[in-house]
Amino acid sequence: MIFEMMNPHRHTDQNVAEAATVILTRERAGGLQVYLLQRNPNSGFMGGHYVFPGGVLEPEDYHTRLFQAHSDLDLEALDRRLGGGLTSARALAFCVAAIRETLEEAGVFLARNEDCFEEQVIELSRLRLTGKLPKGWLVSLVRGTRWRLTLTALSHWSHWITPVLMKRRFDTRFFLAEMPADQICRPNLRETVHGLWESPERALTGNLVGKIPLSPPTLVTLHEMLAYRRLNDLQAASHRRPGDQAILPRWVPLPEGAVIIEPWDPLYREKDIQIDPGRLPGAVLAVGEPFSRIWYDGNIWRPVRG
Protein backbone atom coordinates (compact mmCIF):
# COMPACT_ATOMS: atom_id res chain seq x y z
CA MET A 1 0.00 0.00 0.00
CA ILE A 2 1.21 3.50 -0.80
CA PHE A 3 0.89 6.19 1.86
CA GLU A 4 0.69 9.87 1.07
CA MET A 5 0.02 13.35 2.32
CA MET A 6 -3.69 13.00 2.05
CA ASN A 7 -6.83 15.10 1.88
CA PRO A 8 -8.97 14.46 4.99
CA HIS A 9 -12.10 14.29 2.83
CA ARG A 10 -10.76 10.96 1.49
CA HIS A 11 -10.27 9.53 4.98
CA THR A 12 -13.11 7.07 5.63
CA ASP A 13 -11.53 4.31 7.77
CA GLN A 14 -14.00 3.65 10.59
CA ASN A 15 -11.26 2.08 12.73
CA VAL A 16 -9.49 5.41 13.12
CA ALA A 17 -10.55 7.40 16.20
CA GLU A 18 -10.77 11.18 15.87
CA ALA A 19 -8.71 13.07 18.43
CA ALA A 20 -7.52 16.55 19.37
CA THR A 21 -4.26 17.70 20.94
CA VAL A 22 -3.12 21.04 22.37
CA ILE A 23 0.48 22.23 22.25
CA LEU A 24 0.63 24.42 25.36
CA THR A 25 3.38 27.03 25.00
CA ARG A 26 4.91 29.82 27.03
CA GLU A 27 7.95 32.08 26.93
CA ARG A 28 10.55 32.06 29.68
CA ALA A 29 13.85 33.99 29.71
CA GLY A 30 13.38 34.90 26.07
CA GLY A 31 12.89 31.31 24.93
CA LEU A 32 9.99 29.01 24.09
CA GLN A 33 8.83 26.22 26.35
CA VAL A 34 6.20 23.53 25.76
CA TYR A 35 4.31 21.37 28.22
CA LEU A 36 4.78 17.62 27.89
CA LEU A 37 2.87 14.86 29.66
CA GLN A 38 4.13 11.34 30.16
CA ARG A 39 1.51 8.74 29.36
CA ASN A 40 0.96 5.95 31.86
CA PRO A 41 3.46 3.15 31.06
CA ASN A 42 0.53 0.72 31.14
CA SER A 43 -1.30 2.60 28.41
CA GLY A 44 -2.08 0.62 25.27
CA PHE A 45 -0.81 3.43 23.03
CA MET A 46 2.54 5.18 23.44
CA GLY A 47 2.81 4.02 27.05
CA GLY A 48 5.58 5.85 28.91
CA HIS A 49 6.11 8.39 26.12
CA TYR A 50 5.79 12.15 26.44
CA VAL A 51 3.04 13.79 24.41
CA PHE A 52 0.99 16.97 24.36
CA PRO A 53 -2.34 17.00 26.26
CA GLY A 54 -5.16 15.52 24.22
CA GLY A 55 -7.48 12.62 23.56
CA VAL A 56 -10.32 11.22 21.48
CA LEU A 57 -13.54 13.03 20.65
CA GLU A 58 -16.56 12.00 22.69
CA PRO A 59 -20.23 12.11 21.58
CA GLU A 60 -20.78 14.97 24.04
CA ASP A 61 -18.34 17.14 22.07
CA TYR A 62 -20.85 17.33 19.20
CA HIS A 63 -23.44 19.49 21.02
CA THR A 64 -23.03 22.08 18.30
CA ARG A 65 -25.78 24.53 19.27
CA LEU A 66 -24.86 24.46 22.95
CA PHE A 67 -21.15 25.03 22.45
CA GLN A 68 -21.72 27.57 19.68
CA ALA A 69 -23.72 29.62 22.16
CA HIS A 70 -20.93 29.32 24.74
CA SER A 71 -17.86 30.07 22.61
CA ASP A 72 -16.06 33.28 21.71
CA LEU A 73 -16.14 32.50 17.96
CA ASP A 74 -19.22 32.04 15.80
CA LEU A 75 -19.20 29.18 13.30
CA GLU A 76 -18.27 31.39 10.35
CA ALA A 77 -15.24 32.82 12.16
CA LEU A 78 -14.35 29.35 13.46
CA ASP A 79 -14.40 27.98 9.92
CA ARG A 80 -12.01 30.69 8.73
CA ARG A 81 -9.65 30.26 11.67
CA LEU A 82 -9.69 26.53 12.46
CA GLY A 83 -11.83 24.74 9.86
CA GLY A 84 -9.04 22.96 7.99
CA GLY A 85 -11.36 21.28 5.49
CA LEU A 86 -13.91 20.32 8.15
CA THR A 87 -17.52 21.37 8.37
CA SER A 88 -18.07 24.08 10.96
CA ALA A 89 -19.82 21.62 13.28
CA ARG A 90 -16.96 19.12 13.14
CA ALA A 91 -14.35 21.86 13.57
CA LEU A 92 -16.22 22.98 16.69
CA ALA A 93 -16.27 19.41 18.03
CA PHE A 94 -12.50 19.09 17.60
CA CYS A 95 -12.01 22.40 19.44
CA VAL A 96 -14.35 21.36 22.25
CA ALA A 97 -12.47 18.06 22.62
CA ALA A 98 -9.15 19.91 22.66
CA ILE A 99 -10.33 22.18 25.48
CA ARG A 100 -11.98 19.35 27.43
CA GLU A 101 -8.96 17.05 27.19
CA THR A 102 -6.53 19.81 28.17
CA LEU A 103 -8.44 20.23 31.43
CA GLU A 104 -8.77 16.49 32.02
CA GLU A 105 -5.10 15.68 31.34
CA ALA A 106 -3.20 18.85 32.25
CA GLY A 107 -5.57 20.77 34.55
CA VAL A 108 -5.68 23.84 32.27
CA PHE A 109 -9.06 25.22 31.24
CA LEU A 110 -9.23 27.37 28.09
CA ALA A 111 -12.51 29.01 29.05
CA ARG A 112 -13.81 32.02 30.95
CA ASN A 113 -16.58 32.87 33.39
CA GLU A 114 -16.13 36.19 35.14
CA ASP A 115 -18.56 35.19 37.88
CA CYS A 116 -16.84 32.11 39.27
CA PHE A 117 -13.82 31.13 37.17
CA GLU A 118 -11.29 30.50 39.93
CA GLU A 119 -13.67 28.64 42.25
CA GLN A 120 -15.01 26.33 39.56
CA VAL A 121 -11.59 25.56 38.09
CA ILE A 122 -10.38 24.62 41.57
CA GLU A 123 -13.37 22.29 41.92
CA LEU A 124 -12.82 20.78 38.45
CA SER A 125 -9.16 20.18 39.31
CA ARG A 126 -10.14 18.48 42.57
CA LEU A 127 -12.56 16.18 40.78
CA ARG A 128 -10.06 15.26 38.02
CA LEU A 129 -7.33 14.45 40.55
CA THR A 130 -9.67 12.20 42.53
CA GLY A 131 -11.01 10.48 39.42
CA LYS A 132 -14.52 11.79 40.05
CA LEU A 133 -14.90 14.13 37.07
CA PRO A 134 -18.15 12.82 35.53
CA LYS A 135 -18.58 11.97 31.87
CA GLY A 136 -20.22 14.87 30.07
CA TRP A 137 -18.98 17.36 32.66
CA LEU A 138 -18.31 20.09 30.11
CA VAL A 139 -21.86 19.96 28.72
CA SER A 140 -23.26 20.19 32.23
CA LEU A 141 -20.91 23.04 33.13
CA VAL A 142 -21.76 25.37 30.26
CA ARG A 143 -25.48 24.64 29.99
CA GLY A 144 -27.47 27.59 31.30
CA THR A 145 -24.38 29.48 32.54
CA ARG A 146 -22.09 32.32 31.47
CA TRP A 147 -19.15 30.05 30.64
CA ARG A 148 -17.50 30.71 27.26
CA LEU A 149 -14.92 28.46 25.65
CA THR A 150 -11.98 30.55 24.39
CA LEU A 151 -11.64 29.16 20.88
CA THR A 152 -9.61 32.26 20.04
CA ALA A 153 -6.87 30.78 22.24
CA LEU A 154 -6.42 27.98 19.68
CA SER A 155 -4.63 28.08 16.35
CA HIS A 156 -4.06 25.23 13.91
CA TRP A 157 -0.66 23.55 13.82
CA SER A 158 -0.95 20.16 12.10
CA HIS A 159 -3.12 17.16 11.28
CA TRP A 160 -1.70 13.65 11.80
CA ILE A 161 -3.12 10.21 11.00
CA THR A 162 -1.51 7.16 12.57
CA PRO A 163 0.18 4.77 10.08
CA VAL A 164 -2.06 2.04 8.67
CA LEU A 165 -0.09 -0.88 10.13
CA MET A 166 -0.31 0.30 13.74
CA LYS A 167 -2.84 -1.51 15.95
CA ARG A 168 -4.43 1.66 17.34
CA ARG A 169 -4.99 4.55 14.97
CA PHE A 170 -5.98 8.17 15.45
CA ASP A 171 -6.92 11.07 13.18
CA THR A 172 -5.63 13.96 15.28
CA ARG A 173 -5.80 17.73 14.94
CA PHE A 174 -2.94 19.53 16.68
CA PHE A 175 -3.72 23.00 18.04
CA LEU A 176 -1.35 25.59 19.45
CA ALA A 177 -2.29 27.59 22.58
CA GLU A 178 -0.51 29.96 24.93
CA MET A 179 -0.50 28.85 28.54
CA PRO A 180 -2.89 31.04 30.61
CA ALA A 181 -0.84 33.10 33.08
CA ASP A 182 -3.27 32.47 35.94
CA GLN A 183 -3.26 28.67 35.79
CA ILE A 184 -0.83 25.82 36.40
CA CYS A 185 -0.32 22.46 34.70
CA ARG A 186 -0.63 19.22 36.60
CA PRO A 187 -0.96 15.62 35.33
CA ASN A 188 -3.96 13.62 36.53
CA LEU A 189 -1.72 10.74 37.74
CA ARG A 190 -3.82 8.13 35.94
CA GLU A 191 -3.69 8.61 32.16
CA THR A 192 -0.72 10.94 32.62
CA VAL A 193 1.85 10.31 35.35
CA HIS A 194 4.37 13.15 34.94
CA GLY A 195 4.48 16.59 33.38
CA LEU A 196 7.23 19.07 32.58
CA TRP A 197 7.87 22.38 30.88
CA GLU A 198 10.84 22.19 28.55
CA SER A 199 12.33 23.98 25.56
CA PRO A 200 12.01 22.12 22.25
CA GLU A 201 15.78 21.70 22.04
CA ARG A 202 16.17 20.28 25.54
CA ALA A 203 13.18 17.97 25.05
CA LEU A 204 14.65 16.63 21.80
CA THR A 205 18.02 16.15 23.48
CA GLY A 206 16.31 14.34 26.36
CA ASN A 207 14.64 12.04 23.86
CA LEU A 208 17.94 11.09 22.21
CA VAL A 209 19.46 10.06 25.54
CA GLY A 210 16.30 8.25 26.66
CA LYS A 211 15.28 10.60 29.48
CA ILE A 212 12.26 12.18 27.73
CA PRO A 213 10.96 9.55 25.29
CA LEU A 214 8.78 11.34 22.73
CA SER A 215 6.03 10.03 20.47
CA PRO A 216 6.79 10.47 16.73
CA PRO A 217 4.39 13.40 16.07
CA THR A 218 5.65 15.11 19.23
CA LEU A 219 9.22 14.66 18.04
CA VAL A 220 8.44 16.15 14.61
CA THR A 221 6.47 19.04 16.13
CA LEU A 222 9.27 19.98 18.52
CA HIS A 223 11.76 19.84 15.65
CA GLU A 224 9.55 22.25 13.69
CA MET A 225 9.45 24.58 16.68
CA LEU A 226 13.25 24.91 16.73
CA ALA A 227 12.86 27.52 13.99
CA TYR A 228 11.13 29.94 16.40
CA ARG A 229 12.72 31.71 19.35
CA ARG A 230 9.82 33.89 20.40
CA LEU A 231 6.23 32.97 21.16
CA ASN A 232 4.74 35.64 18.93
CA ASP A 233 6.78 34.34 15.96
CA LEU A 234 5.49 30.82 16.60
CA GLN A 235 1.91 32.05 16.85
CA ALA A 236 2.22 34.04 13.63
CA ALA A 237 3.59 30.97 11.86
CA SER A 238 0.66 28.85 13.04
CA HIS A 239 -1.80 31.14 11.27
CA ARG A 240 0.05 30.58 7.98
CA ARG A 241 0.12 26.79 8.15
CA PRO A 242 -2.25 24.83 5.87
CA GLY A 243 -5.10 23.18 7.70
CA ASP A 244 -6.47 20.87 5.02
CA GLN A 245 -3.61 18.37 4.63
CA ALA A 246 -3.22 15.30 6.80
CA ILE A 247 0.20 13.80 7.46
CA LEU A 248 -0.02 10.03 7.04
CA PRO A 249 3.37 8.40 7.77
CA ARG A 250 4.37 4.99 6.47
CA TRP A 251 5.24 2.18 8.90
CA VAL A 252 8.08 -0.19 7.91
CA PRO A 253 8.33 -3.13 10.34
CA LEU A 254 11.74 -4.56 11.21
CA PRO A 255 12.71 -7.85 12.93
CA GLU A 256 13.05 -5.71 16.06
CA GLY A 257 11.24 -2.38 16.12
CA ALA A 258 10.21 -0.37 13.09
CA VAL A 259 10.96 2.74 11.04
CA ILE A 260 8.42 5.44 10.30
CA ILE A 261 8.77 7.06 6.89
CA GLU A 262 7.38 10.59 6.71
CA PRO A 263 5.63 11.88 3.55
CA TRP A 264 8.59 14.16 2.71
CA ASP A 265 10.99 11.20 2.44
CA PRO A 266 12.25 10.65 -1.17
CA LEU A 267 11.21 6.97 -1.10
CA TYR A 268 7.84 7.50 0.56
CA ARG A 269 5.87 6.46 -2.54
CA GLU A 270 8.00 3.43 -3.38
CA LYS A 271 6.17 0.10 -3.13
CA ASP A 272 8.94 -1.56 -1.12
CA ILE A 273 11.47 0.23 1.08
CA GLN A 274 14.50 -1.81 2.12
CA ILE A 275 16.07 -0.85 5.45
CA ASP A 276 19.26 -2.41 6.84
CA PRO A 277 18.74 -2.54 10.65
CA GLY A 278 22.48 -2.88 11.17
CA ARG A 279 23.10 0.59 9.80
CA LEU A 280 20.51 2.37 11.93
CA PRO A 281 22.65 2.92 15.07
CA GLY A 282 25.17 4.86 12.98
CA ALA A 283 22.44 6.85 11.21
CA VAL A 284 20.98 8.59 14.27
CA LEU A 285 20.87 12.36 13.71
CA ALA A 286 21.75 15.12 16.14
CA VAL A 287 19.11 17.55 17.39
CA GLY A 288 18.29 20.11 14.72
CA GLU A 289 19.31 18.06 11.70
CA PRO A 290 16.46 17.58 9.20
CA PHE A 291 15.01 14.07 9.00
CA SER A 292 12.29 12.12 7.25
CA ARG A 293 12.66 8.80 9.10
CA ILE A 294 12.20 7.84 12.74
CA TRP A 295 13.59 4.57 14.10
CA TYR A 296 11.93 2.78 17.00
CA ASP A 297 14.97 1.70 19.03
CA GLY A 298 13.80 -0.17 22.11
CA ASN A 299 11.39 2.32 23.64
CA ILE A 300 12.89 5.41 22.00
CA TRP A 301 11.98 7.00 18.69
CA ARG A 302 15.18 8.37 17.10
CA PRO A 303 15.47 10.49 13.92
CA VAL A 304 17.73 8.79 11.37
CA ARG A 305 19.09 9.68 7.95
CA GLY A 306 17.63 7.88 4.95
- Residues 226 and 125 both lie in one domain: yes
The span from the CA of 268 to the CA of 261, in Å, is 6
Lowest mean pLDDT among 4-18, 152-166, 216-230: 4-18
Residues 6 or more apart whose CB falls under 8 angstroms from that of 2 comprise 269, 271
- Residues 124 and 158 both lie in one domain: yes
pLDDT of amino acid 301 = 97
CA 235 to chain centre: 16
CA 300 to chain centre: 18
- Write out pLDDT tens, residues 181-230: 989 999 998 889 999 999 999 999 999 999 999 999 999 999 999 999 99
CATH of the domain at 98: 3.90.79.10
Lowest mean pLDDT among 56-65, 76-85, 155-164, 175-184: 76-85
Residue ending a domain, among 215, 248, 281, is: 248
Residue ending a domain, among 218, 248, 278, is: 248
Cβ neighbour number for residue 132 with a 10 Å cutoff: 9
How many structural domains compose the chain? 2
- Expressed as residue numbers, the domain containing 180 is 8-248
Long-range CB pairs of 38-47 (<8 Å, 24+ gap) are: 38/187, 38/192, 38/193, 38/194, 38/195, 39/191, 39/192, 39/193, 40/190, 40/191, 40/192, 40/193, 41/193, 43/191, 44/168, 45/168, 45/170, 46/215
Q: pLDDT-derived band of residue 7, with 50, 70 and 90 as boundaries?
A: very low
pLDDT of amino acid 13 = 58
- Across 274-299, average pLDDT: 96
- Residues 89 and 146 both lie in one domain: yes
**Is 208 contained in some domain?**
yes
**Is 3 contained in some domain?**
no
The span from the CA of 229 to the CA of 35, in Å, is 16
As a residue count, the chain comes to 306
- Residues 166 and 262 both lie in one domain: no
- Residues 288 and 152 both lie in one domain: no
- Residues 240 and 269 both lie in one domain: no
- Residues 273 and 214 both lie in one domain: no
- Residues 34 and 85 both lie in one domain: yes
- Residues 228 and 260 both lie in one domain: no
This prediction's pTM: 0.93
**Is 108 contained in some domain?**
yes
Q: Give CA angle at 18 (16, 21), nearest 5°.
A: 130
Asked whether the beta carbons of 153 and 74 are under 8 A apart, the reply is: no
**Is 76 contained in some domain?**
yes
- Residues 238 and 258 both lie in one domain: no
- Residues 193 and 302 both lie in one domain: no
Q: pLDDT-derived band of residue 14, with 50, 70 and 90 as boundaries?
A: low
- Residues 186 and 284 both lie in one domain: no
**Is 123 contained in some domain?**
yes
Among 280, 286, 285, 283, smallest CA distance to 298 is for 280
Three-state DSSP at 51 gives strand
Asked whether the beta carbons of 249 and 263 are under 8 A apart, the reply is: yes
**Is 165 contained in some domain?**
yes
- Write out pLDDT tens, residues 111-134: 999 788 788 888 898 899 998 999
Beta strands in the chain (DSSP E): 16-28, 31-39, 50-51, 54-56, 111-112, 148-149, 155-161, 169-178, 192-198, 250-253, 258-261, 293-297, 300-304
**Is 141 contained in some domain?**
yes
Residue ending a domain, among 220, 248, 276, is: 248
**Is 295 contained in some domain?**
yes
Dihedral sign computed on CA atoms, order 87, 88, 89, 92: positive
